């Protein structure tokens, strides 16, 4: 039995399985879409990972992740651009729907977020021709504002789409409910992204109350306050019908439970609250 | 010796002093502007607090706080409105520059943030005539998006100013750097607020990297990544020249240090990095 419309981001199963075992576990539950992280692919080898994807007819809803552009100097930025081109190559080899871009925060002890944002724009512009040539769309993932300093200085969907509009074709957004649910402009910006065909991925989880850790306390769908059905409806009306990709960082809960329980719960919640 | 332009929000000294002792400690360091919380005023009594303010010629840069409108039903909203009117009366008795409004998050187990935002608009509209009559400006404080669920569903300066524009005179914003520094639109929105005379307060502290707790890990100015001088410059260019009000919630650091050290450090940092 296949579970249509559901993808598992392999960070969700990071503590349980390597790449091959994660694929096997997903397939055992009828899930045929995944999104791996670069370290997980590197551990098994890109060739072997691509072979597993192809042999099983998997959809790769995203390759995680490129980005991290802001650097203390031009050498650092150039190195980041080179690394992003390699990530594009990996995404191409895996046949991924997109390369997810977590753009990076403030370099070193900088307080200059405007300069960081300018470096992000420069970095994306430098990687984009290679991405277009490889037919790998770049998906900017706006991250929650609480990550502006240390992970990503692109923090709203509007800001990400302004960047996309400035950069042209071959680039869009990954909309993660965790990062965007609070935004008073989310519905209008989803519609805007849809008009321009810029929605490349839809990530799901939930926002817990209380949230006990800024990074590693994401909730399972249904355990928090995000209106997942409404956001999904908006995204579908905007023309995106790809899988919903479950991405849960949860050091104290889901990462400690058995992998099979995590997958089974993802499926159950996907069917009831998403 | 007086320290011009610096106000101490008494939450910063919550663990050290009650209202009267906090005022004495501030005065000993030449600080003549404060912003108390309702529970601190209630503990000493409104009349006595107002007497201390008047006797010492203190500026009260804000009374903390009104808001918390979203409720499970109309009875709850009506109770919140009544309580806000009492907070207006307190602010008037203290001669406060404004009543700070932390508008409230999702009521109960609700996932409907649009309804919560509608209740906020209704609540503010219901309190505003009384606030105008008492000559107490209401200052909407947009809170960081990480508090959207449990503290305030007004999360950007743009959203707060849109509300102010819809509500008319007698209402503006309290701009707290902790909540707004990450916003790609902050500079434009500060300028917009200035054009309409809507800046009522400027709160300062810093964003630490890493931030270890969502609520109680605010940093002392200079210990984090916020470009305080730039934001202050923007606010002054927008026409607001009131004191910078230090508001630091810090359960594991500043709340554990001696009160005099906290005040002395606030003054030192105010002079060097703000």
Q: What ipTM was reported for this prediction?
A: 0.97
Question: What sign has the CA pseudo-torsion B104, B105, B108, B110?
Answer: positive
Distance (Å, whole) CA B70 – CA B68: 6
pTM confidence score: 0.97
Full 3-state SS string of B217-270: ECECCCCCCCCHHHHHHHHHHCCCCCCEEECCCECCCHHHCCHHHHHHHHHHHH
| Cβ–Cβ < 8 Å for B212, B181 | no
Distance (Å, whole) CA A220 – CA A249: 10
- Centroid of chain to Cα A24: 22
Residue A1 has pLDDT above 70, yes or no: no
The string of DSSP letters for A242-272 reads: SPEEE---BTTTGGGS-HHHHHHHHHHHHHH
Q: Which residues of A touch B149 (CB under 8 A)?
A: 182, 207, 209, 224-225
Residues with Cβ within 8 Å of B150's Cβ and at least 6 positions away in sequence, in order, are A209, A210, B105, B106
Q: What is the nearest CA distance from A144 to chain B, expressed in angstroms?
A: 8
Residue A257 burial by Cβ neighbours in a 10 Å radius (0-12, 13-18, 19+): middle
State phi, psi for A269 to the nearest 5 degrees: -70, -40
Residues with Cβ within 8 Å of B4's Cβ and at least 6 positions away in sequence, in order, are none
Strands (E), chain B: 6-9, 33-35, 59-60, 63-67, 99-102, 138-140, 171-176, 199-204, 244-246
Q: B214 to chain A: nearest residue by CA? A: A214
Instruction: Answer yes or no: do B149 and A225 touch at CB < 8 A.
Output: yes
Quick: pLDDT tens for B131-170.
999 999 999 999 999 999 999 999 999 999 999 999 999 9
Q: B146 to chain A: nearest residue by CA? A: A146
Residue A150 has pLDDT above 80, yes or no: yes
Residue B2's pLDDT band (boundaries 50, 70, 90)? Answer: confident
Q: Which residues of B touch A117 (CB under 8 A)?
A: 184
Residue A109 pLDDT: 83
Instruction: Answer yes or no: do A146 and B145 touch at CB < 8 A.
Output: yes
* Minimum-distance CB partner of A155 among B182, B209, B210: B182
Quick: pLDDT tens for B111-138.
999 999 999 999 999 999 999 999 999 9
Q: What is the nearest CA distance from A269 to chain B, expressed in angstroms?
A: 16
Q: What is the nearest CA distance from B195 to chain A, expressed in angstroms?
A: 23
* Minimum-distance CB partner of A149 among B146, B150, B207: B207
State phi, psi for A39 to the nearest 5 degrees: -65, -30
Average pLDDT on B232-252 reads: 98
Size of interface A-B (CB pairs under 8 A): 77
Mean pLDDT of chain A: 97
With a pLDDT cut of 70, the percent of chain A lying above it is 100
Q: What is the nearest CA distance from A179 to chain B, expressed in angstroms?
A: 9
């Amino acid at each position: 039995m296949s579970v249509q419309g559901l993808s598992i981001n392999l960070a969700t199963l990071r503590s349980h399985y390597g790449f091959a075992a994660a694929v096997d576990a997903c397939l055992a539950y009828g899930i045929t879409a995944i999104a791996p992280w670069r370290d997980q692919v590197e551990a098994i080898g890109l060739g072997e990972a691509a072979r597993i994807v192809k042999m099983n007819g998997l959809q790769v809803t995203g390759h995680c992740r490129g980005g991290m552009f802001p650097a203390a100097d031009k050498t650092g930025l150039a190195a980041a651009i080179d690394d992003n081109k390699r990530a594009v190559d990996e995404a191409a080899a895996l046949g991924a729907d997109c390369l997810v871009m977590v753009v990076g925060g403030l370099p070193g002890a900088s307080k200059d977020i405007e300069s960081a944002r300018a470096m992000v724009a420069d970095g994306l512009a430098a990687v984009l021709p290679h991405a277009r040539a490889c037919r790998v769309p770049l998906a900017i993932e706006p991250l929650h504002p609480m990550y502006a300093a240390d992970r990503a200085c692109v923090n709203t969907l509007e800001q990400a789409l302004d960047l996309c509009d400035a950069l042209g074709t071959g680039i869009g957004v990954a909309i993660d409910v965790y990062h965007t649910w609070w935004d008073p402009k989310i519905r209008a910006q989803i519609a805007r992204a849809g008009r321009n065909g810029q929605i490349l991925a839809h990530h799901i989880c939930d926002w817990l109350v209380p949230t006990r850790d800024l990074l590693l306390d994401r909730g399972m769908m249904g355990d928090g306050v995000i209106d997942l059905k409404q956001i999904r409806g908006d995204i579908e009306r905007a023309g995106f019908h790809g899988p919903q990709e479950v991405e849960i960082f949860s050091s104290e809960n889901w990462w400690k439970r058995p992998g099979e329980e995590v997958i089974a719960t993802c499926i159950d919640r996907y069917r009831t609250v998403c």
